[in-house]
Structure 1
Amino acid sequence: MSDANQTIDELGRRARDAAADLALRSRGEKDAVLLAMADALVAATDEILAANAQDVERGRAGDIGDAMIDRLTLTAERIAAIADQVRGVAALPDPVGEVVRGYTMPNGVRVQQIRVPMGVVGIIYEGRPNVTVDGAVLCLKSGNAVLLRGSSSAASSNAALVEILRRTAAEHGFPADAIQGVPSEDRATVSALLHARGLVDVVIPRGGAGLIQHVVTNSTVPVIETGVGNVHVYVDSSADEEMALAITENSKVRRPSVCNAAETLLVHHDVAESFLPKIAQRLRAAGVTLHADEQSRAILGDDAVPATDEDWDTEYLSLDLAVGVVDSLDAAVGHIREHGSGHTEAIVTSSLEAARRFSMQVDAAAVMVNASTAFTDGGEFGFGAEIGISTQKLHARGPMALPELTTTTYLVQGEGQIRGAS
């Protein structure tokens, strides 16, 4: 057995023991430890920031790019926000034990389908330290043990966060091994985790397209696929112009390095002459580079660079935006169905019929009607936090939180009934 396989085997066995313990914990017990974890994170702000500074320094030296630096960087405000999300998770209902459906058969046998933990969840993610906390607390609240395999770019930050969470768990009588970090210095641990079938019940990748495809293609453990965000905003011919300007700007500029940021703007040709110069002025003021098709460049001029075929399929995660003019709602939907990633799509329109058709025809985990794409987020949806945004259709889709980290068991209760011959 290789060193990486042995490491995952040891971590997985400890995680399974911890999961058995968590399965018996009440909501009150879990909520109490989560609230303590939130306080512990705030109290350890200086410790976390010192560790994070090491990662950021290495990242800048390695020229990993502004988008990745933004995702990697923690501040006191971001740590406070992470702690608030932990408190939000504590306030949510516990899905474990929820009766999905129940009935009594004619022979008196009672059947209940109830939510139960997955068991051991493996999360493989890139340089976002907040995922360490989100994954840990969502798994704990849903009764799962978690193996956290972050990237080497965030190694110091992740190690500090895991240690704080483990220490707090132990102080409150929980098994510290409910939360374990997987060493990131050896890339072989990813492969070992993907092949730990029997020890790990599900793997969730969270990161760029390359990471996600590697996990989906190579894992023998079941995978819940979280997807890249090639997100579109479509401005319909009936759109309120001021609303469309605000939604487009917010969708692109608010935080361009996250997966719900808009990457393509599609504008109906009836409003393009009026709308495009106004949105271009706003976006350029924010530092956005426009990659425009021929019709858009005819309106915007040489300040927009010509769009290539690759632009329509690119998740920029930066201050770049592909811009196209379309002849109809059907053309917009067709473009999105060809180039979209199934994450989030938005329409700005005053037409109820256009909104209905768009919502029914685009294939996405979230559809926004007259709202910013930035709202596709577990916290914004009231989930407290999210483990990721699933773009697949089984077993979960959209922002994943507590219910999506459970499966179900059929509990059948009788009073001695037996089944007769067929």
Structure 2
Amino acid sequence: MTTSASSDVLDTARRAKAAAAELAPQPSGVRDAALLAIADALRARTGEILTANAADVARARDNGTGEAMIDRLTLTAERVAAIAADVAHVVTLPDPVGEVLRGSTLANGLEIRQIRVPLGVVGIIYEARPNVTVDAAALCLKSGNAVLLRGSGSAYASNTALVGVVRDAIGTAGLPADAVQLVPGESRDSVKELMRARGLVDVLIPRGGASLIRTVVEESTVPVIETGTGNCHVYVDEHADLDMALRVLVNAKASRVSVCNSAETVLVHAAVAGAFLPRALSALAGAGVTVHGDAAWQAAGDAVLPATDEDWAAEYLSLDIAAAVVPDLDAAVAHIRRWSSGHTEAIVTRDQAAARRFVAQVDAAAVMVNASTRFTDGAEFGFGAEIGISTQKLHARGPMGLPELTSTKYVVTGDGHIR
């Protein structure tokens, strides 16, 4: 990276740190007013945003980008309206800043309280999805954090337009505009500089494919909250309601394939395979899904492709699904333990004992019982727009809402106490 470009990234981080110090003590009402201003500005300037996005989409198509990534990149008037609605919804959520997690008065009279405080400066490194730009800004502002946004070059025009709208809105609402900034530069060098801005950036959150996440986790000197890929499974138990299982499977796989909570593998208990596989193949074919299956699935349908280890490991993000028949629940759990990315796993069963065993034995950020994997989402969980879905176990796990964007500090109050 050139000295000038490196200086640009660090200058941006310094401004964010100063803005974070100014933002943190602002009352909740001021931050909420800024969020409402953002929502209004998004609606008012939708045309400007869509023009910028259209340029990004056209460039992506010219570059031969796959349809799954183009879907993530594309904004429509309806999607912008939904983003604005999400921002307005964040206003209605409880402000975590200042919440007392625990407190006590010691025998010597000292009062001790542990309270939630903003993390400070949050860096978001993400791919393609411009909605993340506004979601991240809204959640960070609500929780008193400044945010540095480093989206992919493919969405640079969209992100520039969105950040411009957000900065104008919060500036008129009385918050420092530098609380929301786009990291300068479109090359990977600017990402590396952001990852090394320890002391200026308090935490990084990568959102995207496995390669991006691995790079940030392995190379960053700034603390990282890892958001993992979604190799999600649906297990159809021997005691499943097969009509329910069919609805859950088709929704989990085909309702939106380009997202991390879509199902990538279906496992079916051998006891119900004879009845379920023909129906599943018909329903999946009707949804345009290609099945990559084991011998049992191949025997059930001529169009089934043979599955390999690459299929069991795949996060397709496309109209493809891996499929296997398993002898029992233990085998399903073993398969999931071997191949799961730890995002979301689902069981369909009417047997509560089987459901309890599955929940206890499967290690994932979210486990669904008789529900689609597509529910692993901050908005669906009632958190508002999420900052990401963490698949690690420290400092957060699962959909990350407002509380996950805070740390804590202890406030100790005495009356001239000495030790």
Pair in the same fold by TM > 0.5: yes
Alignment of 1:150-299 (within 5 A): 150-299=151-300
| Alpha-carbon displacement from aligned partner over 1:222-280 (angstroms, at most 9, x marks no partner) | 00000000000000000001100000000000000000000000000000111111011
State the alpha-carbon separation in 1 of the partners of residues 364 and 184 from structure 2: 34
- 1:73 corresponding residue in structure 2: 74
SS in 1 for 2:233: strand
Partner amino acid, structure 1, of 2:172: E
SS in 1 for 2:15: helix
State the alpha-carbon separation in 2 of the partners of residues 185 and 384 from structure 1: 30
- 1:47 corresponding residue in structure 2: 48
How far the C-alpha of 1:183 sits from its partner, in A, is 2.4
State the alpha-carbon separation in 2 of the partners of residues 170 and 317 from structure 1: 38
SS in 1 for 2:171: helix
How far the C-alpha of 1:321 sits from its partner, in A, is 0.3
- 2:389 corresponding residue in structure 1: 389
How far the C-alpha of 1:64 sits from its partner, in A, is 1.1
Structure 1 vs Structure 2 CA RMSD: 0.8
- 2:6 corresponding residue in structure 1: 5
State the alpha-carbon separation in 1 of the partners of residues 177 and 32 from structure 2: 16
- 1:310 corresponding residue in structure 2: 310
Conserved 8 A contact 2:5-2:185: no
Give the length in aligned residue pairs: 418
Between 7-16 and 315-324, the greater mean CA deviation after superposition: 7-16
State the alpha-carbon separation in 1 of the partners of residues 188 and 334 from structure 2: 40
Q: Tell me the TM-score normalised to structure 1 length.
A: 0.98
SS in 2 for 1:389: strand
Conserved 8 A contact 1:15-1:120: yes
Partner amino acid, structure 2, of 1:264: T
1:368 has 2:402 as partner: no
| Alpha-carbon displacement from aligned partner over 1:337-391 (angstroms, at most 9, x marks no partner) | 0000000000000000110010011110000000011100000000111010000
Alignment of 1:93-112 (within 5 A): 93-112=94-113
Partner amino acid, structure 1, of 2:159: N
| Alpha-carbon displacement from aligned partner over 1:34-75 (angstroms, at most 9, x marks no partner) | 011111101111111100000000011111101000000000
Between 182-191 and 393-402, the greater mean CA deviation after superposition: 182-191
State the alpha-carbon separation in 1 of the partners of residues 130 and 185 from structure 2: 13
How far the C-alpha of 1:5 sits from its partner, in A, is 2.1
Alignment of 1:117-156 (within 5 A): 117-156=118-157
State the alpha-carbon separation in 1 of the partners of residues 331 and 3 from structure 2: 53
SS in 2 for 1:96: coil
State the alpha-carbon separation in 2 of the partners of residues 331 and 286 from structure 1: 28
SS in 2 for 1:384: coil
State the alpha-carbon separation in 2 of the partners of residues 164 and 37 from structure 1: 7
Q: Which runs of 5+ in 1 are unaligned?
A: none
SS in 2 for 1:4: helix
| Alpha-carbon displacement from aligned partner over 1:200-231 (angstroms, at most 9, x marks no partner) | 00000000000000000000000000000000
State the alpha-carbon separation in 2 of the partners of residues 196 and 151 from structure 1: 19
How far the C-alpha of 1:3 sits from its partner, in A, is 2.6
Conserved 8 A contact 1:119-1:145: yes
Conserved 8 A contact 1:4-1:186: no
State the alpha-carbon separation in 2 of the partners of residues 184 and 75 from structure 1: 26
- 2:379 corresponding residue in structure 1: 379
| Alpha-carbon displacement from aligned partner over 1:289-328 (angstroms, at most 9, x marks no partner) | 000011211222x210001111000000000000000000
How far the C-alpha of 1:184 sits from its partner, in A, is 4.0
- 1:59 corresponding residue in structure 2: 60
- 2:347 corresponding residue in structure 1: 347
State the alpha-carbon separation in 1 of the partners of residues 218 and 178 from structure 2: 29
SS in 2 for 1:341: coil
Between 274-283 and 160-169, the greater mean CA deviation after superposition: 274-283
State the alpha-carbon separation in 1 of the partners of residues 187 and 231 from structure 2: 31
State the alpha-carbon separation in 1 of the partners of residues 263 and 185 from structure 2: 31
Question: Runs (4+) of structure 1 moved beyond 6 Å?
Answer: none
Conserved 8 A contact 1:233-1:348: yes
State the alpha-carbon separation in 1 of the partners of residues 386 and 159 from structure 2: 17
State the alpha-carbon separation in 1 of the partners of residues 352 and 27 from structure 2: 46
Conserved 8 A contact 1:151-1:184: no
State the alpha-carbon separation in 2 of the partners of residues 17 and 343 from structure 1: 35
Between 5-14 and 194-203, the greater mean CA deviation after superposition: 5-14
State the alpha-carbon separation in 1 of the partners of residues 349 and 249 from structure 2: 13
Conserved 8 A contact 2:42-2:84: yes
Q: Which runs of 5+ in 2 are unaligned?
A: none
State the alpha-carbon separation in 2 of the partners of residues 343 and 186 from structure 1: 30
SS in 2 for 1:303: coil
State the alpha-carbon separation in 2 of the partners of residues 209 and 53 from structure 1: 27
- 2:416 corresponding residue in structure 1: 416
Partner amino acid, structure 2, of 1:321: I
Conserved 8 A contact 1:23-1:143: yes
Partner amino acid, structure 2, of 1:57: A
Alignment of 1:321-332 (within 5 A): 321-332=321-332
Conserved 8 A contact 2:9-2:184: no
SS in 1 for 2:235: strand
How far the C-alpha of 1:4 sits from its partner, in A, is 3.1
Conserved 8 A contact 1:272-1:325: yes
State the alpha-carbon separation in 2 of the partners of residues 326 and 186 from structure 1: 46
